[in-house]
Every structure is written in structure tokens, then in C-alpha cells.
Amino acid sequence: MRYLHTMVRISDIDKSLAFYCDGLGMREMYRTDHEEARFTLIFLAAPDDRRTAAQEKAPLLELTYNWDPQSYDEGRNFGHLAFEVDDIYAICQHLLDKGITINRPPRDGHMAFIRSPDNISIELLQKGEKKAPQEPWASMENTGTW
């Protein structure tokens, strides 16, 4: 498993980049706009991780900007921790066997969400290409929120 990123939701791209980049010295590594889902993802690297992030994929800070105005109460501006896993189906089965709820099963063979005992959302992402959909995951319903 490899730690990938921490996601926080932002309400103003310019103000956030001024804070993280101009203030803290972070650097924008890349961004993606998702028109259909109406959000932008901006990935930042810390000053000492700049070279590493580009070459070895050090953990990044993901800023998520939703195009439609939203209010983030109860800590919803903090999104999730993300980990890349070698086999998403194996890790989800292992977690399930340990009594951990799979809140968003890996129906697509690529992504799943679980929650820590303190309700921190954790995203699990399949390393490399997504796996072919398979049961019981393909038909498993979401449980709770993530």
C-alpha cells in the first residue's frame, strides 16, 4: 500500500492557491476539470516534495473545488485520505473479514471507500489498471456515507 493524497474542499480557487502556494510555498503539480460532474481537482506538492512528487509520486494535497456553491459544515471541507493498493478486491475482502464496513464497494474494480473508527473517510484505489468487475463487489450496495 502507498499513501497518495489528502483531499480538502475549497470555496475559492484563487484564495486557496494564494494561501497554499504563495503563503506556504506549495506548487501546483497538475489540475483536472470534470465538466460533467462540475468540479476541479488541483494537486499541490510541498516545497521539499516538488522533485519527489514529479518523479516518485510523493503524497500530494488535493484541493477540490465544486463549481456549484456549497456550505461545508461539520468538517466536510476535509475530504479523505487516499491509498493505492495492489489488489482492491483482496484488501476489501480482508477488511470485510475484520468486520470493517465497505461504505462504497469497488464495483468498478478501481475505487472503494471505508471509514476509520473516528469516521475519517479513506479512499482505496487500485494500482495500475482497474480490475474487471466481479462479485460480490459488482452488485454490492453502498452503506452509509463516505
Positions marked active-site: 123
Q: What angle do CA 99, 133, 120 make, to 5 degrees?
A: 40
**Burial of 55: CB neighbours in 10 Å, binned 0-12, 13-18, 19+:** exposed
Sequence-separated contacts (24+) of 37-41 with Cβ below 8 Å? 38/66, 38/67, 38/68, 39/64, 39/65, 39/66, 39/67, 40/13, 40/64, 40/65, 40/67, 41/65
Beta bridge partners of 44: 28, 61
Residue 104 to residue 139: CA distance in whole angstroms: 11
